[in-house]
Amino acid sequence: MSQLTSTATTIPSETPHNRAVDWGYKIAKLFPHVILIAYSVLALFPTVLIVMNSFKDRRDLFRVPYTPPIWFSLENGFEILNLFSTKGYEQVFSRASIFNYFGNSIFVTVVALFLILMLGSMASFALSEYEFKGNRLIGLYMAIGIMIPIRLGTVSLIKLMNALGIYNTQWALIFVHTAAGLPIAVFILTEFMRQVPTELKDAARVDGASEYRILFSFIMPLVRPALATVLVFNMLPIWNDLWFPLTLAPAGNVRTVTLGLSEFAGQYKTDWTALLAALVLAMIPVLVFYTVFSRQFIQGLTRGALK
């Protein structure tokens, strides 16, 4: 006859030490969230301030800069205060060729990003797929382009654009931004393309696929997060750039948004309400672009960090 033994499970009683450890663990988990929330508030505050003050006139802009033009009260709900004004936006659309500036910026940005993705992906595919003499040297040479600011060669670029006959044209900006964005594109895409299984590419070659089809039909869909990362990293500098539009394309008919904003900033007087309204309009495409590609962008950063 077997003897059955039962073991009683004892639950440790809660002690002051256990409570202190539990509270310490909760605070440790809460601390990163507090830091991130504080950083988000600091980062968003200037943007909110610009949007808020773009709906005020000049007097209220300097008198009550931190008061929103739309207020919430328990009695009336959301109400528009006397601070609300659209004079800034009216000035933007009446004085400046804002649609022309936006068209120029969109054209330069889209074409430059297309060239960066196409040329960068082909260069990255060659560096990651084929082993040849000077492979690592070329990759290092492209990486050096990230460290050296292209603005150091402004004088030479002006001479080059004059020699090519494209000074004061949009193509001058497109070529310069493409050259500036290629190093980081090659640097990011090369590492991602090296992770694509070799068996997949060999199977496509056996089926008769060309190298271009392997790149555009098989590899590029697999590295979408890296492509989104390249797009975001290059879109912001191109859209926000002021230096090269000022030096390579200052003519009125090819001005970009950032250069067009200078019409509201004079030597002796600045129309701040119109300037803030134009800044709000210039921020909208960037916010839309990041919202569309934010998921892929975050995946690209995460995978890059894990690599």
- Could you read off the pLDDT of 153-184 as tens digits, one per residue? 889 999 999 999 999 999 999 999 999 999 98
Tokens of 66: 């931190």
pLDDT per residue as tens digits for the range 254-297 = 889 888 887 777 655 677 888 888 888 888 888 887 777 767 66
What is the per-residue pLDDT across 62-118, written as a single tens digit (0 to 9) for each?
A: 888 888 877 666 565 666 677 777 787 887 887 767 888 888 999 999 999 999 999
Predicted local confidence at residue 199, as pLDDT? 86
Predicted pLDDT of residue 305: 41
Task: 220-225: list long-range contacts, CB under 8 Å, 24+ apart.
Answer: 220/121, 222/196, 223/189, 223/192, 223/193, 223/196, 224/296, 225/192, 225/296, 225/297, 225/299, 225/300, 225/303
**pLDDT confidence of residue 93:** 80
Residue 5 predicted with pLDDT over 50: no
Q: Is the dihedral of CA 108, 222, 184, 301 positive or negative?
A: positive
Contacts of residue 234, Cβ cutoff 8 Å, sequence gap at least 6: 112, 113, 116, 177, 181, 184, 185
Q: In the prediction, which pLDDT does 191 show? A: 83
Containing 80, the helix (H) or strand (E) segment is strand 77-80
What is the pLDDT averaged over residues 215-240?
87
Burial 163-179 (b: 16+ CB within 10 A, else e): eeebbebbbbbbbbbbb
From-to residues of CATH 1.10.3720.10 in the chain: 92-306
Residue 205's pLDDT is 86
pLDDT for the residue numbered 267: 57
pLDDT over 50 at 55, yes or no: yes
Rounded-to-5 percentages of helix, strand, coil across the chain: 75, 5, 25
Question: Which pLDDT band holds residue 201 (cuts at 50, 70, 90)?
Answer: confident
pTM of the model: 0.78
% pLDDT > 90, the chain:
18
Cβ atoms of 190 and 127 within 8 Å: the answer is yes
Does domain 92-306 match CATH 1.10.3720.10? Answer: yes
pLDDT for position 172:
93
Residue matched to tokens 């600011």 = 149
pLDDT at residue 75, rounded to an integer = 60
Kindly report which listed range (53-62, 64-73, 188-197) carries the lowest average pLDDT score.
64-73
Region 175-201 average pLDDT: 88
Is the pLDDT higher at 24 or at 182? 182
Return the minimum-mean-pLDDT range out of 5-19, 148-162, 186-200, 217-231. 5-19
- Share the mean pLDDT of the chain: 81
Task: Write the Ramachandran bin of 104: left for phi over 0, alpha for psi from -120 to 50, otherwise beta.
Answer: alpha
What's the rounded Cα separation, in Å, for the pair 222 and 186?
A: 16
* Percent of the chain topping pLDDT 70: 82
Structural element, H or E, at residue 36? helix 16-53
